[in-house]
Amino acid sequence: MMSNADLLGLERQERITQLLDQRGTLTVAEISEAFEVSEATVRRDLAALAAQHMIRRVHGGAMRAHAVATSELPIMQRQEQRADVKRRIGRAASSLIQNGETVLMTGGSTALAVARELGAHSSLTIVTDSLLVANELMRQGCHKVIMLGGMIDPAEFAVRGTLLRLILSELKVDKVILGVKALSPQRGMSAESAEEAEVSRTFIDAGHHIIVVTDSSKFHQTALVRVAPIDAIHMLVTDSDIPPEALETFQERGIFVELV
Task: Identify whether residues 88 and 156 lie together within a single domain.
Answer: yes
Q: What pLDDT score does 6 carry? A: 53
Does residue 19 have a pLDDT over 80?
yes
Q: What pLDDT score does 183 carry? A: 93
Higher-confidence residue: 63 or 255? Answer: 255
Q: What pLDDT score does 79 carry? A: 60
CATH classification of the domain holding 25: 1.10.10.10
Q: Which of 17, 44, 65 is the last residue of a domain?
A: 65
3-state helix/strand/coil string of the chain: CCCHHHHHHHHHHHHHHHHHHHHCEEEHHHHHHHHCCCHHHHHHHHHHHHHCCCEEEECCEEEECCEECCCCCCHHHHCCCCHHHHHHHHHHHHCCCCCCCEEEECCCHHHHHHHCCCCCCCCCEEEECEHHHHHHHHHHCCCEEEECCCEEECCCCEEECHHHHHHHCCCCEEEEEEECCEEECCCEEEECCHHHHHHHHHHHHCEEEEEEECCHHHHHEECCEEEECHHHCCEEEECCCCCHHHHHHHHHCCCEEEEC
Higher-confidence residue: 6 or 229? Answer: 229
Task: Identify whether residues 31 and 99 lie together within a single domain.
Answer: no
Model confidence at 212, pLDDT cuts 50, 70, 90, reads: very high
Q: What is the reported pTM? A: 0.73
Averaged pLDDT, 18-34: 82
Task: Identify whether residues 114 and 201 lie together within a single domain.
Answer: yes
Q: Which of 22, 41, 65 is the last residue of a domain?
A: 65
Task: Identify whether residues 43 and 159 lie together within a single domain.
Answer: no
Q: Residue 44 is part of which domain span?
A: 4-65
What residue type is 213 in one-letter code? V
pLDDT tens for residues 153-192? 887 888 888 888 888 889 999 999 999 989 988 889 998 8
Q: In what order do the strands lie in the sheet with 182-184?
A: 182-184, 188-191, 225-228
Tell me whether residue 70 is in a domain: no
